[in-house]
Amino acid sequence: MKLKNKITILITGGAGFIGSNLCEYFLNKDYNVICLDNFATGHKHNVETFIENNNFKLIEGDIRNIDDCRKSVQGVDYVLHQAALGSVPRSINDPATTNDVNVTGFLNMLIASRDAKIKRFIYAASSSTYGDSEALPKVEDVIGKPLSPYAITKYVNELYAEIFSNTYGLETIGLRYFNVFGKNQDPNGAYAAVIPKFVMQLMNLESPKINGDGNYSRDFTYIDNVIQMNELAMNTKNNEAINTVYNVAYGDQNTLNNLVESLKNNLSIYNPSIMNVEVEYGPNRIGDIPHSLASIDKAKKMLGYNPQFSMEQGLIESVKWYWENLKR
C-alpha cells in the first residue's frame, strides 16, 4: 500500500471522533494513513468514505494486543495515538478496563513504536491531568492530584512517554486536549460528551440536563484547532519543542449555561421552537472539576499554534453538521 516518498501516519483510534477527523485531514493532504481501531467506541461509518482511497488502510485490531500494535507501526513515520477509553464516569464504573486500554495499550504502542524506529509519537493526553489544581489558567507544569481513574491513566501516559524519550530516545509530544467538539462526535450512549448530547436533545425538543447549576466552565475546543496542533507537533523541527506536553484549547472559558444558550441560538435557525426548550438541572457529578481554562502560551511560543475557531465559531459548524447528518 505504501507509495514511495510519501509520509505514512498511523492514527490509532482513527474510527473515533478525533481520529476520524485526523484521518480525513491527512488523507486530503495526500499522506498515507493507517487507522488502527477495535470499534469499541468508534464507528465504521466514520471511516467508510476513506476505504476507497488507495492511501488509506484500515486495521481492525486492539492496542491491548502487542502484535496488533507491531503490525500497525510497520513502515510508519509518525504515530498519532488517539485510541483510548474516554469518559470520567466510564472509568469510575469500570476502572480495570479503562486502565487496560489506556495504560497497557498505551505502553504497547510505545514499545511497538520504539522498536519500529518511528520518527515521532504524538499522543492524546488530557486536561483531566490538572486534577484538583484550582490554578487558572492551567499552565502545563502546574498539575494537581487526579480526580478519577481516567485522569490517572492519562497522567501515567505522560510519565511513560517521558521515560521512553529519556531512556530510548523515542521522540514524543503529548497534547492535553480540553473538551474537544465537532463533527463525528458520538451523541449516543451513556458516556456521550456534553455538546453532542445536548445538540441531539435540543434537536428533538427535549430538555438538556445539566449536572450542577450550569456555572461550571470549560475551555471548549473545536476539532480544527486540535488538528492544527497534531500537524504542528508532527512537523516541528525545533528540538526544544519535543519530548514535552502542550495544552490544546482555544484559551477561553464558557459556562455550561453559556453553551446551552449558544446551542439554542444556533439550532433555532433550523427550528425556532428550540429557543423555548427549558434546561433541567441536577446534582454535580463525581470527578468533575468546577472550572477549566487553558493557557495556550506554550503551544503558541514553541509550535506557532494559532487556533482559528472560538467555541462560538466551532458551534456554528458543528450544529450545521448535526442538523444535516443526524436530524431524525
Count of alpha carbons within 13 angstroms of residue 39, beta-carbon side: 9
Q: Nearer Cβ to ligand NAD, position 144 or 207?
A: 144
In this chain, which stretch among 37-45, 238-246, 267-275, 308-316 interacts with ligand NAD, using CB under 6 A?
Answer: 37-45
Contact between 43 and 18 (Cβ < 8 Å): no
Q: Residue 13, interface with ligand NAD (CB under 6 A)? A: yes
Cell numbers linked to 301: 511560543
Site for ligand NAD (CB under 6 A): which residue of 8, 34, 37, 182? Answer: 37
d(CA 133, CA 142): 8
Contact between 266 and 319 (Cβ < 8 Å): yes
Site for ligand NAD (CB under 6 A): which residue of 32, 98, 99, 126? Answer: 126
Cell numbers linked to 212: 450542577
Cell numbers linked to 148: 478519577
Q: How far is the CB of 228 from ligand NAD (least distance, A)?
A: 15
In this chain, which stretch among 179-187, 236-244, 274-282, 302-310 interacts with ligand NAD, using CB under 6 A?
Answer: 179-187
Cell numbers linked to 299: 503551544
Query: For residue 261, what are the contacts with CB-CB under 8 A and spacing of at least 6?
Result: none
Q: How many residues bind ligand NAD (CB under 6 A)?
A: 30
Q: Residue 314, interface with ligand NAD (CB under 6 A)? A: no
Instruction: Please give the residues from 44 up to 63 whose contact with ligand NAD meets the rule CB under 6 A.
Output: 62-63
**32 φ/ψ angles, rounded to the nearest 5 degrees:** -80, 135
Q: Residue 249, interface with ligand NAD (CB under 6 A)? A: no
Q: Nearer Cβ to ligand NAD, position 122 or 274?
A: 122
Q: Nearer Cβ to ligand NAD, position 39 or 168?
A: 39
List residues with catalytic annotation: 150
Angle at 294 between CA 41 and CA 46, to 5 degrees: 25
3 state SS of 46? helix
Q: How far is the CB of 275 from ligand NAD (least distance, A)?
A: 27
List residues near ligand NAD by CB under 6 A: 13, 15-19, 36-42, 62-64, 82-86, 101, 105, 124, 126, 177, 179-180, 186, 193
